[in-house]
Structure 1
Amino acid sequence: MTFASDRINANQETLVQQRYDMQSKERIARTSRFSFDPEKVMKHLRDHIIGQSAALDEIENMLITVKADFNASHRPLAVTLMLGPTGVGKTETVRLIAEAIHGKPDAFCRIDMNTLAQEHYAAALTGAPPGYVGSKEGNTLFDEAHLQGSFSKPGIVLFDEIEKASTEVIRGLLNVLDTGTLKLTAGTKTLDFKNCLIFMTSNIGAKEAQARLKLLSKLPKPIQKLAEFSKLDDSQITERALHKKFDPEFLNRIERILHYHAVPSEFVSTLVDLEVEKLNQRLQKQSRTVSLSEKATVFLSTGHDIRFGARGLSRRFRVLIEPQLARFIMQHPDADHIQIDFDGTRLTLQSQQIELSISHSNSLIHDITHNTKN
């Protein structure tokens, strides 16, 4: 079935491209070749990325421009750099875009730049030079299928933690950002990025920005507003660190530089709800669901360190919730819905199991209560 589905999709792409080419020749190609809906992509993003409205607005502008389909033919569709501290949703943004456009959150080519810290690692992107082992094979870290996409769907590439790569590796990307092509060192092959959305993430300046944020948080609100008005916020600190780290010729090839900020404390309860949603997605294969009481939500939200963003909250779920949930499921394998509460000292788990009686029309509800230590 997978092979048949792939063939059907390939045939549909071919028909769409032929129709588009015919309209272009007749100069009536008034519709975009791209099939994704920017509004649906943005709804998916805004449902899952919290507290980053300014950055998401720029993502929306980028997607609408790509969808309009008058992009330059000699460049990538878009080049976007996302700056900000850990756990604020930079990498998650790319995953969600891939999921909304391609149907799978891993449908993009991800290059972890922290693994390319040495100069000789440039060969991992451009291939081994002539005379070296592997030069004829043209091996590279890039996944061609994901970076090229298809006629109606753009490819997606993520250069994660770009500031941790060596200067030589970054220089090797200049042609990719400028012309949308990368010729492998051996000269045997050229990679095409012209149908590609290129994203980069960086934590550069985040440490200094968070130190400033911690200092400002101790000051009265009016002074905090004055500091923000005077351009003393974390965006300005990050911007200075960015220009100190990267050459102008590199930054000049980036279309959008987005600033992701530490998630304010008032959004923590929303992040808790998203973690519950992720947990329920993993429990779907067991036909189970989990919900939190208001007291449990408050408990998990209290004491959250905004410096660690959503990842810190995910870690709290793994440590406080998942072990107790796993123990409860092992003891009560028939539990369908599990309610998690907090009694002031510890988390408690309770299952509501519904059974239909054959001889009676009404349902019999059995409550099983199990308390575990925090």
Structure 2
Amino acid sequence: MALLRAPAVVWKDPGGMYTATLVEDDSGQAAVGSSAAEALSALQDWCVWTVKHQPWAFSAPEMQRPRLAWFQVSVRPEYVLRKRRFPVEESVTLPVPVVLGDLPAGLTLCAAPTLNLRFTCHEDEQVKELVAHYVRERVSGLSPASVSRLWPPTHLELADISVRLPSPGPKRTRAKVLEALPLVAEPVTRQRGRLSPRAFGREAEIADLVKRLQADRANVLLVGESGSGKTTMLLQAAREIERSVRRDPERDPDQAPLSPMFWQTSGSRMIAGMRYLGQWEERCEKVVSELAEMDGILCADSLIELLRVGGFDATDSVAAFLMPFLQHRELRMVTECSQAELDAARRLLPGFVENFQILSLASPAGPAAIAMLDQLARADRQNLRIEFEDALPALVYRMHRRFLPQAAFPGKAAGFLHLLFERAATAHKPRLSLADALEAFVADTGLPELFLRDEVPLDEAEIRAELELSVIGQVGAVRAAATLLTTFKAGLNDPQRPLGVLLFSGPTGVGKTELAKAVSRYLFGHGQGKDRLIRLDMSEYGQSGSAERIFSGPQGEPSELIRRLRAQPFCVLLLDEIEKASPDVYDVFMSAFDEGRLTDRFGRTTSLQSAIIIMTSNLGAGKGQVLGFGEGAEPDYEAEAMAWFRPEFFNRLDAVVSFKPLSQDVVLEIASKELQELSAREGMQRAGIRLEFSRTLVEQVAKAGFDARFGARPLQRTIESLVVAPLARYLVRHKPRASTLRLGWRDGSLSVVQA
């Protein structure tokens, strides 16, 4: 049996008891005793029991020449209120005991047991700087009271304990029952079912992949955009390889790999349920061992996820842990990524990608793409016994290429086509028509059918008339929005950029937000989800470092914006009061304006090529006239925007749309429109009541509901107080049914007459 010495630390707590813990143990296990010797003895007993009953839970110590050093780190506690941090005025000096030791790889292991911190460094000169960095990161966001609880004991000493490990038994040559692998992965060829899709049109790429995996025994990285067919191609290649292995007559049955060979997993599943670094590392070692014994191949869903999970950064991630096994050819792996993610992986963990052979997948286009969809349709016809019109695959391809240019082919198009057949089978329809495809696409995207049918004409005057029902008195702004929609209908918009990038400038309360809503309803309001407006208050992104919040939440999860954009790419993104955002947020959206996508530091992209981006601004609204109302000299909003934004930001805007102050007549029209909408409320509809409004009432509401500072914005509040509240009291008291109520203004209050 091998005798090992494991470094430990022991200290006396304020209560007079002693605590001992292993320096290299990440599990947080500790022993307590009335003396240092008693605590160390209890810790040794725990190690002996663990080695005997749970040998997988004990890792042999690697640290050599352990030594104890004390560091003084200046930290500033913080108070956190509503996600905002307020550092205290004065910093405090926190003593930090650190155990330093040499690792076999030439690195130095640094452990701060009282803070449960462990990290490695290359040079001893880096230790002091790294200790300060990790300690400040550890206390970030902690209040003074919380920091005080991290104060180390006055006396802490370094010790060691002896542990005997049992000698390893003879190596097993026959296959054993899998233990760790089924917990984190599942067989690729069994999870899909017999009716899983085939990779039509990818015969050459599949043959290449089979050769690399079977003949070259290489690790393969499939590079292509999401939806390009990487997973489907891997599934078909895995089936061919396993089929050839089972049919090989010359292969010794005793040496045959355990079937199946290909196991699907993800970075998150590899560490699921593991609280500490050592736990998931031990599990990964078992997975590698079981795969090596069966000559299996690990198929990871995402390369970038392997780099993202497992530790604080890519250097202590799952990918970093697996890299030595890949280098020594102890592990065979296939994984996937996009080109942007590949570039990010090379930056985040140099040397990892070099362990793979790269197989790039290009998206087919034109006749080849239509032929691929036709093969998919014929396969569904055979499986589901549903006929289809010959032009259906071409229509599906045209709609996705035209309206979803960011989506790699055949992903979304193939999924959409298959869903059409499944819906037809559920509805017991014997045949799929072009009208069925158009109806389904409208439901998914919200686009009106007239935009999908090139043969249907559209007059720009019709668009303006529709928008002017919602936005009154802003002829120029409505014309600019209608021009954008007409360009989209004609197919003349740049497919690599958003559908439009507009800056709405003008006083508050004149219809900027309402026009954005009207555009959203007109262009995207015809599907299942009626609300296609995503609104961001840019005043919440005015602090330095706010750009990261565009992409992710506090725990690293995708932000609400990213989730909504991915769930529904057909939308209007409204950036309210854009001038209040910080410069780094400008940089994020400047890239989106130019490239039509948002890209985070991991290379993950979110498309905006099917969205309209509208920004609102009050820049220049206070010059030359009263805010929201008046006929004075109109400010030059475009000049104000040019003066405020950087040239490279301003030049990426499609148009600066100016909104005029509201005139008296316009305010009256808005008041009348808002009053007419009361008839559509649920109480009116249920009772069958129709409302009529006198001119006097409309004028009173317009007068009381207009504010020189806020334009027509207070109008709705005025209607609620002057009209809705008195009307509600009347309805509750008199209970009218199926009648017409004439509302007027008399003696300073609402008058109601039942016709």
TM-score tier after normalising by the smaller chain length = 0.7 to 0.9
CA shift in 2, pair 1:349/1:73, >3 Å: same
**Aligned-partner SS, 2:536:** strand
Output the CA distance in 2 between the equivalents of 1:160 and 1:14.
Answer: 41
**Equivalent AA in structure 2 for residue 258 of structure 1:** V
In the comparison of the two structures, how many residue pairs are matched?
Answer: 306
**Aligned-partner SS, 1:138:** coil
TM-superposed deviation, 1:344: 4.3
- Residues 105-116 of structure 1: pairs in structure 2 closer than 5 A: 106-116=531-541
**Structure of larger gyration radius:** 2
1:186 correspondence with 2:565? no
TM-superposed deviation, 1:121: 2.1
TM-superposed deviation, 1:300: 2.2
Output the CA distance in 2 between the equivalents of 1:213 and 1:94.
Answer: 18
**Equivalent AA in structure 1 for residue 723 of structure 2:** I
Out of 462, 478, 493, the residue aligned to residue 56 of structure 1 is 478
1:208 correspondence with 2:605? no
CA shift in 2, pair 1:198/1:16, >3 Å: farther
TM-score, normalised via structure 2 length: 0.38
Q: Which residue of 1 aligns with 2:552?
A: 127
Output the CA distance in 1 between the equivalents of 2:503 and 2:400.
Answer: 33
Output the CA distance in 1 between the equivalents of 2:615 and 2:566.
Answer: 19
**Equivalent AA in structure 2 for residue 116 of structure 1:** Y
The answer to whether the Cα contact below 8 Å between 1:34 and 1:69 also exists between their aligned partners in 2 is no
The answer to whether the Cα contact below 8 Å between 1:90 and 1:260 also exists between their aligned partners in 2 is yes
TM-superposed deviation, 1:256: 0.8
- Residues 288-307 of structure 1: pairs in structure 2 closer than 5 A: 288-302=689-703, 304-307=706-709
Q: Deviation per CA, 1:97-133, whole angstroms, max 9, x where unpaired?
A: 22222237622222221221212221121336xxxx6
- Residues 130-149 of structure 1: pairs in structure 2 closer than 5 A: 134-135=555-556, 137-142=557-562, 143-145=564-566, 148-149=569-570
**Equivalent AA in structure 2 for residue 52 of structure 1:** Q
**Aligned-partner SS, 1:186:** coil
Q: Which residue of 2 aligns with 1:235?
A: 635
Out of 500, 504, 508, the residue aligned to residue 82 of structure 1 is 504
Q: Which residue of 2 aligns with 1:195?
A: 610
CA shift in 2, pair 1:212/1:44, >3 Å: closer
Identity %: 26
CA shift in 2, pair 1:253/1:331, >3 Å: same
TM-superposed deviation, 1:144: 1.7
TM-superposed deviation, 1:192: 0.7
TM-superposed deviation, 1:34: 6.8
**Aligned-partner SS, 2:714:** helix
- Residues 296-335 of structure 1: pairs in structure 2 closer than 5 A: 296-302=697-703, 304-335=706-737
Q: Which residue of 1 aligns with 2:675?
A: 276
**Equivalent AA in structure 2 for residue 134 of structure 1:** Q
CA shift in 2, pair 1:146/1:243, >3 Å: farther
**Aligned-partner SS, 1:125:** helix
Out of 664, 669, 672, the residue aligned to residue 265 of structure 1 is 664
CA shift in 2, pair 1:325/1:32, >3 Å: closer
Output the CA distance in 2 between the equivalents of 1:172 and 1:293.
Answer: 51
Q: Deviation per CA, 1:175-208, whole angstroms, max 9, x where unpaired?
A: 1001101112333x20011122111111222233
The answer to whether the Cα contact below 8 Å between 2:566 and 2:607 also exists between their aligned partners in 1 is no
Moved more, 164-173 or 297-306: 297-306
The answer to whether the Cα contact below 8 Å between 2:565 and 2:608 also exists between their aligned partners in 1 is no
The answer to whether the Cα contact below 8 Å between 2:691 and 2:742 also exists between their aligned partners in 1 is yes
Q: Which residue of 2 aligns with 1:355?
A: none
1:251 correspondence with 2:650? yes
Q: Which residue of 1 aligns with 2:744?
A: 341
**Aligned-partner SS, 2:657:** strand
TM-superposed deviation, 1:241: 3.2
**Aligned-partner SS, 1:311:** coil
Q: Which residue of 1 aligns with 2:491?
A: 69
Structure 1 spans left out of the alignment, 5+ residues: 1-12, 24-30, 150-154, 218-223, 225-232, 353-374
Output the CA distance in 2 between the equivalents of 1:22 and 1:344.
Answer: 63
TM-superposed deviation, 1:295: 1.9
**Aligned-partner SS, 2:754:** strand
TM-score, normalised via structure 1 length: 0.73
**Equivalent AA in structure 2 for residue 321 of structure 1:** V
Output the CA distance in 2 between the equivalents of 1:106 and 1:340.
Answer: 32
1:18 correspondence with 2:389? no
Output the CA distance in 2 between the equivalents of 1:276 and 1:330.
Answer: 20
TM-superposed deviation, 1:306: 4.7
The answer to whether the Cα contact below 8 Å between 2:679 and 2:685 also exists between their aligned partners in 1 is no
CA shift in 2, pair 1:191/1:34, >3 Å: farther
**Equivalent AA in structure 1 for residue 647 of structure 2:** P
Q: Deviation per CA, 1:243-297, whole angstroms, max 9, x where unpaired?
A: 3321111111001100011111122221111111222222454333322112212
CA shift in 2, pair 1:269/1:146, >3 Å: farther
Structure 2 spans left out of the alignment, 5+ residues: 1-391, 403-449
CA shift in 2, pair 1:16/1:321, >3 Å: farther
CA shift in 2, pair 1:111/1:60, >3 Å: same
Q: Deviation per CA, 1:284-321, whole angstroms, max 9, x where unpaired?
A: 54333322112212222336445432212222212211
The answer to whether the Cα contact below 8 Å between 2:539 and 2:577 also exists between their aligned partners in 1 is yes
CA shift in 2, pair 1:123/1:349, >3 Å: same
Structure with bigger helix share is 1
The answer to whether the Cα contact below 8 Å between 1:41 and 1:97 also exists between their aligned partners in 2 is no
CA shift in 2, pair 1:117/1:292, >3 Å: same
CA shift in 2, pair 1:57/1:120, >3 Å: same
**Aligned-partner SS, 1:148:** coil
The answer to whether the Cα contact below 8 Å between 2:697 and 2:745 also exists between their aligned partners in 1 is yes
Q: Deviation per CA, 1:51-92, whole angstroms, max 9, x where unpaired?
A: 111111111111111110132222111111101111111111
